[in-house]
Amino acid sequence: MAIKFNQVRALELIIDFVVDNQNNYTSSYLFLKNLPIILQKGIKVVNLFESRVFQYKFDFDEWPSTHTNNETYIKPYYGDIFDLRNNYDTVFIGPALERLEEK
């Protein structure tokens, strides 16, 4: 409703509330469809992007824990979060991101 009625301050307060009180990736669904509109309106989203709402760190034994490449990579994944753990090779493609055993 806040987007529909162009209530920019209300949107900023909603974002701040979610980041401060519900700082979890499960809250990302609130913004996925509306994120382009929020960005077009010039609403500050730095705190949102730096929060755990859009940054989910996990540890899974199937994923390599070390690489020869120390660069940080951010890659999109459009599948189900529960399937991500089995899709390392489809998300991180390229010679710099190969598993050490493959080299």
pLDDT tens-digit series, residues 11-55: 889 899 999 998 888 888 888 888 888 888 888 888 888 898 888
HSE (side-chain half, CA atoms, 13 Å) at 84:
14
Count other Cβ atoms within 10 Å, centred on residue 53. Answer: 22
Angle at 14 between CA 7 and CA 23, to 5 degrees: 160
Closest to 54 in 3D by CA, of 24, 82, 83, 74: 24
Measured in residues, the chain has a length of: 103
pLDDT in tens, 44-95: 888 888 898 888 776 777 776 666 677 777 788 888 877 887 887 788 777 7
**DSSP label at residue 58:** -
- Domain ranges within the chain, ordered by starting residue: 8-50, 58-103
